[in-house]
Amino acid sequence: MLIPMDSLQSFDLPLTIGAFQIGVLVSYALFGIVTAQTYTYFAKFLEDSLKLKILVSIVWACKVAHTLCLGHVLFIATISDYGRLEILTGAPPKTLELAILFAGFVNISVQSFFTLRIYKLSNHLSISIIIWAILFLRLVGVAVLTVAGIRMTSLRNFEAQWGWSSALLLRAI
């Protein structure tokens, strides 16, 4: 599908791709910090339960997948499809939606763990159930948004149909 040139002229390539590139590079630096923290956790807290160690491992593996997905999208935007401005308004690579899914899963997992800590410290199950219900709704929302993103054919159509929910869910993540 060809995009009219007048809609592409409003794009400022350095601001669009440049901002994304800076964001991915900062994300890579933060991933390095997360990796160092994960290594330190496994080296120092040998007595923690197996369940907690599995949770930390799953969260770190999802962060690896998230980082790889962002790198793939950056490669496509800056190397393989560079100069094709219609890419910016068409459907983005599917790995961008997968990155959103992984980020959502990581955040919801960590917040669920914090909710468990709140329950253990406060002994109020009702508060924890409310938070877990909200987190479950967010997980469903992120999954629906990911599927819709994978099926999208145009960024403009996706924004028209899913703009409000994507803004709500991505800000919550």
What tens digit of pLDDT does each residue of 87-118 get?
A: 667 778 889 889 989 999 999 999 999 999 99
Q: What is the pLDDT of residue 64?
A: 98
pTM: 0.82
What does each of the 173 residues of the chain score in pLDDT, given as a tens digit?
444 555 555 666 677 788 889 999 999 999 999 999 999 999 999 999 999 999 999 999 999 999 999 999 999 888 887 777 666 677 788 898 899 899 999 999 999 999 999 999 998 899 999 999 999 998 998 888 888 888 887 777 777 777 767 666 666 55
Q: For residue 5, what are the CA distances in angstroms to 9, 89, 116, 157?
A: 6, 11, 53, 17
Q: State the SS3 of 135-172.
A: HHHHHHHHHHHHHHHHHCCEHHHHHHHHHHHHHHHHHH
Q: What is the pLDDT of residue 86?
A: 67
Residue 110's CB is within 10 A of a number of other CB atoms, namely 12
Q: For residue 6, what are the CA distances in angstroms to 2, 3, 89, 140, 165?
A: 12, 9, 12, 37, 28
How do the domains of the chain map onto residue ranges?
5-172
Beta bridge partners of 90: 154
